[in-house]
Chain A
Amino acid sequence: MRYLRHEQLLGKPAQKKLQKKTITIVGLGALGTNTASLLARAGLNLKLIDFDNVELSNLQRQSLYDEQGIGKPKAAVSASKLKKINSEIKIKAFNEILSSKNLKLLNSDLVIDCTDNMTTRFLINDYCYNNIPWVHSAAIQHTGVVFNILPKRPCLRCLYRKNTDIDMCSSLGVINTLPSAIASIAATQAIKILLNKSPEEKLIRLNIWNNEIEKIIVRKQCPKCQRSL
């Protein structure tokens, strides 16, 4: 009964297939908590990675936390909340910072980047390259992006020129309706990738303030991807 609405829409075999998959979510801030909530409800097994603790300023948009969680590790608090939402899925929580020393934590059927920095994103890109499908998501102020990075398709280095951090929600702010919208797009893309249902090839960019969504063509243009042409 839990997955009836999905079974009606996607079919029972597809829902069963999702329940056998494990997704790694890197970063449990606004994007990560909203994404994890959707995927746990969809029956996917999760690996959660974040080194940070919950703060009061997170509660405006980070949907798995409440006042009781302040000061506690995000990974553990998220896992505990998600278990209450869906006790049937497997959840592993890692209170760690992702670095070159623990990239094996990414081993799973799919990775979703919900981090807030380019350094971690490029670590994910280079580890997953042509091996593990992953979904890049980011958001700031009222604009967010989602980009699927699949084997044989353009990678993050085709999208960004350098792993320079440009902006931070902590300094520029973010409207609290944006992360849940971007998380919904990213989680939908993750489901489409896992079910092999024509995931989006273009960069998806949403401005929630102006109700504008655009899709931008990205071609293989980094040296590594160009060599594979």
Chain B
Amino acid sequence: MPKMPKVFIEKINKTKHVKASTMQQLIASLKLNPEEVLTIRNNELVTLDTKLSEKDSIKILSVISGG
């Protein structure tokens, strides 16, 4: 049963609940390019295969490359 964790998406500056059991599912559901974002769970950068729980604090931050 997919979870509905609360996710902050920096690119659109919004927080919403997204149905996803893994970070991969979450990124796909948000139609984001995984190469363009940092996937953060509970203040830690995690891989796409990371499982998510409804208690997790999740942030999808944009990769920055300017100088």
Name A's B-contacting residues (CB within 8 A): 27, 29-32, 113-118, 121, 137-140, 143-145, 158-162, 164-169, 172, 174, 203, 205, 214-219, 221
Q: Is the interface of B mostly helix, strand, loop or mixed?
A: mixed
Docked-complex contact B45 and A114, CB < 8 angstroms: no
Partner pick for A114 among B34, B43, B67, CB 8 A cutoff: B67
Which partner residue on chain B sits nearest A144 by CB separation? B64
A-chain residues with CB within 8 Å of residue B43 when the two chains form the complex: 214-217
- 1/0 per residue B6-38: CB within 8 Å of A? 000000000000000000000000000011101
Partner pick for A169 among B35, B44, B66, CB 8 A cutoff: B66
Which partner residue on chain A sits nearest B47 by CB separation? A221
A145-B35 in contact given A203-B45, A216-B44 (Cβ < 8 Å):
no
Docked-complex contact B64 and A217, CB < 8 angstroms: no
- What's the minimum C-beta distance from A35 to chain B, rounded to whole angstroms? 10
- What's the minimum C-beta distance from B28 to chain A, rounded to whole angstroms? 15
A145-B67 in contact given A164-B35, A219-B44 (Cβ < 8 Å):
no
- What's the minimum C-beta distance from A205 to chain B, rounded to whole angstroms? 7
A198 to B64, CA, bound (A): 25
Name B's A-contacting residues (CB within 8 A): 34-36, 38, 40, 43-45, 47, 61-67
Docked-complex contact B35 and A167, CB < 8 angstroms: no
A216 to B37, CA, bound (A): 14
Docked-complex contact A172 and B45, CB < 8 angstroms: no
Docked-complex contact B66 and A216, CB < 8 angstroms: no
Partner pick for A166 among B44, B45, B62, B67, CB 8 A cutoff: B62
B-chain residues with CB within 8 Å of residue A218 when the two chains form the complex: 44-45
A-chain residues with CB within 8 Å of residue B35 when the two chains form the complex: 160-162, 164, 166
- What's the minimum C-beta distance from A194 to chain B, rounded to whole angstroms? 22
Docked-complex contact A32 and B64, CB < 8 angstroms: no
A-chain residues with CB within 8 Å of residue B36 when the two chains form the complex: 164, 166
Docked-complex contact A117 and B38, CB < 8 angstroms: no
Docked-complex contact A168 and B66, CB < 8 angstroms: yes
Which partner residue on chain A sits nearest B64 by CB separation? A138
Docked-complex contact B45 and A167, CB < 8 angstroms: no
